[in-house]
């Protein structure tokens, strides 16, 4: 992630004009959780992609991002797509140098993976699991387990600092109980992360986050 001289605490507002040459998007964001909702094809993923591209390169004249505080020059961010664990190798490398408290990470991993009777091995420089007396590498996990591990590691290596986490339909490959707990787990690992996600999962929304839902039509002016 990028380093900034004056990092922001969170994104306060995004203005996209035009979106697809015909829409004007103005979205006032909460500092904690923001869930973008709407029918397929209405622009949820495009809005988040444009935000991330502007934050990374600053080359989209149609996109204006306002940070809090206003004089900040940016904020670190991560982007996760549902069903993907392609960056797990990179995250495992960063894990070895991560200075965050790992006790919460270990406990959460044990709780989540208990359904298949796996426990995480407490090692400082690699991720291993124990199941039925065997030691498993991450390559031996299911696709859903690898995806969840990728989410946990992405948040852990933020080391509790203010950060933005974009998540596009994170429910893909995650079973219902994990969807229900997803936001609370992320916030437990890093209370300073600002979550911006799109989802079609009632489980994610109904677990105490109804007031964080924004319809794309409501931010189109």
Question: What confidence tens digit (pLDDT) does each residue in 84-108 have?
Answer: 776 888 999 999 899 998 999 999 9
* Whole-angstrom distance, CA of residue 43 vs CA of residue 45: 6
CA-based R_g, the chain, Å: 18
Percent pLDDT > 90 in the chain is 84
Burial class (CB in 10 A: 0-12, 13-18, 19+), 203: middle
Token representation of residue 216: 């794309």
Average pLDDT, the chain: 94
pTM above 0.75, yes or no: yes
| Averaged pLDDT for residues 182-190 | 97
Domains (ranges, CATH) in the chain?
A: 10-219 (3.40.50.300)
* SS percent in the chain: helix, strand, coil, step 5: 35, 25, 40
pLDDT at position 1 over 80: no
Q: Quick one: pLDDT at residue 59?
A: 94
pLDDT at position 12 over 70: yes
Q: pLDDT by residue (tens digit) across 13-70?
A: 999 999 999 999 999 999 999 999 988 899 999 999 999 999 999 999 999 999 999 9
H or E segment and range at residue 187: helix 176-189
Whether 76 contacts 1, CB under 8 Å: yes
H or E segment and range at residue 33: strand 33-37
pLDDT at position 115 over 80: yes
Angle CA 42–43–44, to nearest 5: 110
Q: pLDDT by residue (tens digit) across 122-167?
A: 987 899 999 999 999 999 999 999 999 999 999 999 999 999 999 9
* Whole-angstrom distance, CA of residue 159 vs CA of residue 113: 22
Task: Using pLDDT thresholds of 50, 70 and 90, give the confidence band for residue 3.
Answer: confident
| Averaged pLDDT for residues 69-89 | 89
Q: Quick one: pLDDT at residue 55?
A: 96
Q: Shortest CA distance to 11 belongs to which of 66, 71, 72?
A: 66
Q: Shortest CA distance to 178 belongs to which of 196, 157, 199, 163?
A: 199
Task: Using pLDDT thresholds of 50, 70 and 90, give the confidence band for residue 182.
Answer: very high
Q: Quick one: pLDDT at residue 61?
A: 96
């Amino acid at each position: 992630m990028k380093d900034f001289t004056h990092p922001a605490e969170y994104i306060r507002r995004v203005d996209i004009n035009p979106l697809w040459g015909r829409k004007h998007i103005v979205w006032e964001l909460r500092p904690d959780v923001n869930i973008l909702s709407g029918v397929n094809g209405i622009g949820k993923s495009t809005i988040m992609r444009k935000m991330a591209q502007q934050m990374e390169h600053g080359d989209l004249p149609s996109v204006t991002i306002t940070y809090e505080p206003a004089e900040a020059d940016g904020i670190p961010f991560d982007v996760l797509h549902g069903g993907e664990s392609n960056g797990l190798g990179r995250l495992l490398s960063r894990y070895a140098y991560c200075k965050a408290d790992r006790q919460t990470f270990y406990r959460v991993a044990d709780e989540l993976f208990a359904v298949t009777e796996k426990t995480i091995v407490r090692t400082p420089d690699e991720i291993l699991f124990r199941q039925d007396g065997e030691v498993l590498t991450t390559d031996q996990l299911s696709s859903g387990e690898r995806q969840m591990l990728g989410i946990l590691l992405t948040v852990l290596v933020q080391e509790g600092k203010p950060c933005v986490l974009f998540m596009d339909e994170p429910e893909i490959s995650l079973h219902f109980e994990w969807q229900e707990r997803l936001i609370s787990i992320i916030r437990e690992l890093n209370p300073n992360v600002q979550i911006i996600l799109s989802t079609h999962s009632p489980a994610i929304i109904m677990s105490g986050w109804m007031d964080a839902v924004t319809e794309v039509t409501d931010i189109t002016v």
